[in-house]
Structure 1
């Protein structure tokens, strides 16, 4: 709470209303008083034909002063009441907001009834609706994450107990148990890394700088063993003018891992980067967007399951190649795409597999003499 006492809007409105009433009341009274003071006839303002003589001037001025005081005394409480009534919708909004919680958020009808506050009411209602969705998603995420983390921990505990209670355990069985524990630990490590990447993607961009998607794809491919699938690339320099290099590298890596893991032996993964058609800005410079496309063969994905596979911890099938994933890959991709304001489209193939297209909005400038250099089929 601020140490400086802030003025109250209601008090200021009451003063304004009261002052307006006094001024409006003072005008006719002042006209009468002016006529009496100058000794002129007040017939024009409603007095009798005889006017007001000089002997009555003092009493008229006193009456004027008393009248203004009475108007001020009456206007003050009326102004206070009118100001309170005018500010009632704000009090209703404040009351509704103060009573909000993660389990109960105000509805639109609880946020004021007056047309003048319709925009503010609608804005708050939309905010509360988004918060409600975020709270629900957070609760689901925590429940799913707890389940996913509990499963490998339970497996580790069972493996350790079986090994310790085995009277015939020897060096070989111990080594086998340790190898299983190591694999289990690696699975947990991948899960925690996925959770961290998802949290960073949902948090939004930390840094913004030009990022070449083609370079990110080349580095990601160099760090991976795609066997037993074939990787085909068609990479043009495609710069995201304002991107977070760490998050975009995570986006590319997760898409590649997903395309390789959910594939078939001898399958194919196609990776491409390109510019969108150039646009001309107000100073005549060409500007372009960028597109990343990754397509793979693999099991058939029903069209109505696309939203599901973009949700954390949702898996439609067991991976055909590579190791099991955490179920976070495409959820991470969606979070990072949203953080960059990019359009994410996931299209299933009738014969199996997916095409994932991420389109980033127009950004950096391109000179008319620049020509893309392509890298094909690595």
Structure 2
């Protein structure tokens, strides 16, 4: 009996001690939790404005870039200083600066082209108007004079038609290929030379035409490119001069080369004659040249991703090489 009583007493004592210990742990944890919660709230209140300020400073360059882009127009593009000088966005700023520089050059070229085209169109239209006014103002005009005036009007109309066709060809060349199919430069070059034999009277045309297939191209645009190169070689040549036409395959490339004799072209003038309506000398005959031939060639070559090289010949004339991807 004594042993049983001792065990019961010991069990009750242990439960009592555990109860006291448990109660002490619960009472001491409460203030700690309160302190942690209060600390978190204080940290959040302090960190929120600091984080907001840091975030605002971080996105400030983007806001400046956005503001500069929104204010960009064709007449005013942002300068490099307006794009900010932040190291974090240095690459983006430099990329946008380069983009705006290219756009500025493109807009300037477009304005120059519009002015030149307006001048080229105004001259024949003015002559047409003058011829009509003279015919109407002459009370004694007879059939012979009227026929002569109408013949001149038809000639000017043909000139305008060729100019409009050249402008359309330039626009199509800048737009890029519509069809993408394999085209043999040899076939197009042969057809272009045959079609211009009469226009090249007094000139010697030598050909070295081999198969040269351009993998993905527009046959209409390539025919226009070759035709304009031949027309340029014919119009700006010398009496008794020469034209060399060559097509060939070179590895994975298809190459077209047209060389002609003619007036001496300075090296510094090459870029100029590739622009619309730029002529160094007058054509050798009244050929009705639009002044857009080499500009069309460059536009078509660029749209096909071809390498265009224009090199003045030492004795005069040019050698124009267009290097296409054959595969």
TM-score normalised by structure 1 residue count: 0.76
After TM superposition, give the deviation of residue 70 of structure 1 in Å.
2.7
Residue from 199, 213, 220 that aligns with 2:171: 199
Structure 2 Cα separation of the partners of residues 65 and 300 of structure 1: 88
Residue from 305, 320, 324 that aligns with 1:356: 320
Structure 2 Cα separation of the partners of residues 119 and 72 of structure 1: 34
What is the aligned residue count? 304
Which residue is equivalent to 2:292?
Answer: 328
- Larger proportion of helix: 2
Which residue is equivalent to 2:218?
Answer: 244
Tell me the alpha carbon deviations over residues 152-199 of structure 1, each in whole angstroms, 9 at most, x when there is no partner.
000000001111111221111111111101110110111111111112
Whether 2:62 is the aligned partner of 1:90: answer yes
Please list every run of 5 or more consecutive structure 2 residues that lacks an aligned counterpart in the other structure: 1-20
Which residue is equivalent to 1:215?
Answer: 187
Which residue is equivalent to 2:6?
Answer: none
Structure 1 Cα separation of the partners of residues 321 and 220 of structure 2: 19
Of the structure 1 ranges 195-204 and 146-155, higher mean CA displacement relative to structure 2 is found in 195-204
Whether 2:123 is the aligned partner of 1:159: answer no
Does the residue aligned with 1:55 lie in a helix, a strand or coil? Answer: helix
Structure 1 Cα separation of the partners of residues 157 and 292 of structure 2: 17
What does residue range 299-378 of structure 1 map to in structure 2 within 5 Å?
A: 299-321=263-285, 323-361=287-325, 363-364=326-327
Asked if structure 2 preserves the Cα contact closer than 8 Å seen for 1:201 and 1:339, the reply is: yes
Structure 2 Cα separation of the partners of residues 65 and 212 of structure 1: 80
Which of these two proteins has the greater Rg computed from alpha carbons? 2
Which residue is equivalent to 1:125?
Answer: 97
Structure 1 Cα separation of the partners of residues 308 and 115 of structure 2: 26
Asked if structure 2 preserves the Cα contact closer than 8 Å seen for 1:105 and 1:128, the reply is: yes
Residue from 110, 117, 128 that aligns with 1:138: 110
Residue from 177, 181, 202 that aligns with 1:228: 202
Does the residue aligned with 1:87 lie in a helix, a strand or coil? Answer: helix
RMSD (Å) for aligned C-alpha atoms? 1.8
Which residue is equivalent to 2:15?
Answer: none
Does the residue aligned with 1:269 lie in a helix, a strand or coil? Answer: strand
Of the structure 1 ranges 138-147 and 99-108, higher mean CA displacement relative to structure 2 is found in 99-108
Of the structure 1 ranges 296-305 and 327-336, higher mean CA displacement relative to structure 2 is found in 296-305
Residue from 244, 268, 273 that aligns with 2:242: 268
Tell me the alpha carbon deviations over residues 213-264 of structure 1, each in whole angstroms, 9 at most, x when there is no partner.
1111112223222223222111111011122222211110100111111122
Asked if structure 2 preserves the Cα contact closer than 8 Å seen for 1:206 and 1:244, the reply is: yes
Structure 2 Cα separation of the partners of residues 189 and 211 of structure 1: 28
Residue from 145, 159, 162 that aligns with 1:187: 159
Of the structure 1 ranges 329-338 and 52-61, higher mean CA displacement relative to structure 2 is found in 52-61
TM-score normalised by structure 2 residue count: 0.88
Please list every run of 5 or more consecutive structure 1 residues that lacks an aligned counterpart in the other structure: 1-38, 41-51, 279-287, 365-378
